[in-house]
Structure 1
Amino acid sequence: MEKIVILTGAGISAESGLGTFRDEGGLWAQHAIEDVATPEGFARDPALVHRFYNTRRAQAAEAVPNPAHAALARLEAQHSGEVWIVTQNVDGLHEKAGNSNVLHMHGALDGALCAACDHRWPAPLVMAPGDSCPSCAAPAARPDIVWFGEVPYHMERIWQLLDEADLFAAIGTSGQVYPAAAFGQHAGRAGAHTVELNMEASVNARDFSEARHGPASVIVPEWVKGILSS
C-alpha cells in the first residue's frame, strides 16, 4: 500500500487527557457549543471564548502523546510510501509525537488569527479581547480555530489525498461531523481499502470495509504493526 491517509478525531487524544465535547463533566459540558465555537458566540462574548480556548490551550500544552500517536509517527517514519494525517483535533499531539505530514482541518490551538485581515501567527498561551494583530494592528485577534459554520481548512488538498489513497483509516471519530464524516465513503469509492478504528462502531460504520474496536492506545499500535510487517 503506497499512500495511506488517516483521519483522526477526538478519540485518539482522549487517552492523553483531552476530553471530547461529548464527554460528560468535561470542559465542553460546561458550555453551549453556540457560545464558544461559533463566530456569533465570539461576537457576543469574546472574553468568554478567549477564556475557554486559553484553558484548552493550557491543557494541550501539558498533554503528551499516547501510544496511538506514537504508532502513527512510527508508521510515517517507516512506511515505504506516503503517510498523511488529516486531523479534526487542534491539540498538536501528532506533531509532538513526530508526524510531519499533518493537515489540521479545524485549525490549531497554538495559532492566532486576525479576524480583520486573516493574518496568522503563533498564539500566546493567554489571549484576550482586544489583542492586536501584528500585521495590521487591528484589535481583532481570535483563536485560529474553525468554528461551526466556517469552512474547514485544506479541503481541496484533502479531497485530492482521498482520491489518491490506497488505504484510508478513520481513528477516534464519531462520524457525525461533516465533511469529515464523508471521507470513508469518498475514499472507498475512489478505490481505497477503508478501515475504522474506534471504541465502538460510528454512525457511518457501513462506509468502511474493515473495523477494529477498542482503546486507540491498544488497537492503533496493533494495526500499525500489522502494516509495517506485511
Structure 2
Amino acid sequence: MSGWIKLHRSLLDWEWYDDANATRLLIHLLVSANYEPKRWKGVVIPSGSIVLSWDTLSIGCGLTVQQTRTAMAKLTDSGEVTRKVTNKFQTVTLVKWDQMQSDIIDNNNQANRQITDKQQTNNKQTNRQVTTTKEVKNKRSKNYTKDFESCFDFYHEHSVLPKSDKAAAYKYWVKLTADEKNSIRNTLQKFLEINNDEYCVKFRSYLSGKRWEDDLSGKQPKKKPFQPIYNPAIGG
C-alpha cells in the first residue's frame, strides 16, 4: 500500500486522544481505508471504508481482540466511525473521511489528469515530429536536380552493384563545380565500361573519391558500349 493521508490537528481535541489504544486504532483505520471506491466480492466499498474482521483488525493494529473491540466502541460512540456488521465481516466507515481527505483525493486526481494530459501532449508532439520528418524527407527526395538524377540512374543501371544511398550521394553532388559535373558527364560511361566488375564502387564513393579524374587512357572496355548517357537538353 502506498500514498499518504492528511492527519488533522483537530485530532488533538478528540475526547479519546489520550487513550493510546483508541488513537492507535483510529490512525490504523485512516491509513487502511479505501482512498477510492473498490469492489469486494460483488459489493462496492466506498472511499473512507474498510472491510475487516476482529482477528485481522487486531493483528493489523497490534492489539488484542478485546482491546480492539473496546477501542472500536469508543470510536463509534464519539462519532468517528460507523459499522455495518454481517455474520462474516464488518464494514467500518470513517465519518469525517471526505471532509478531511477530499483535497488529497482531488489533488491525486488532478495529478493523474496532468500526467495523462502531458503524456497525450507528448505523444501528439512526437507524432507531429515524425510526420514532419517524413514530410521533409519526402520533400528532399523530390528536390534532386535533373542532372544528378540522370547520372545516378545511369550509373546504377549499368553497375553490377546495388544502388547506393541516393541522399548521401547527392550531398557530394551539390558540392561539385559545373566543370566537375561536365567531366562526370563526359567520362562516366567509359568509367563503367572499364570498371564494371567486382572492383566497381557505388556512385557515392565514385563522387567522394573523384573517380572521374581516373586516367582511363589505354584501358579497354570490359563491356560493349552503352547507349548514349545524356539527353543534351539536361543542363548542369
TM-score range normalised by the length of the shorter chain = under 0.3
* Higher-strand-fraction structure: 1
Q: TM-score, normalised by structure 1?
A: 0.21
Q: TM-score, normalised by structure 2?
A: 0.21
Larger radius of gyration: 2
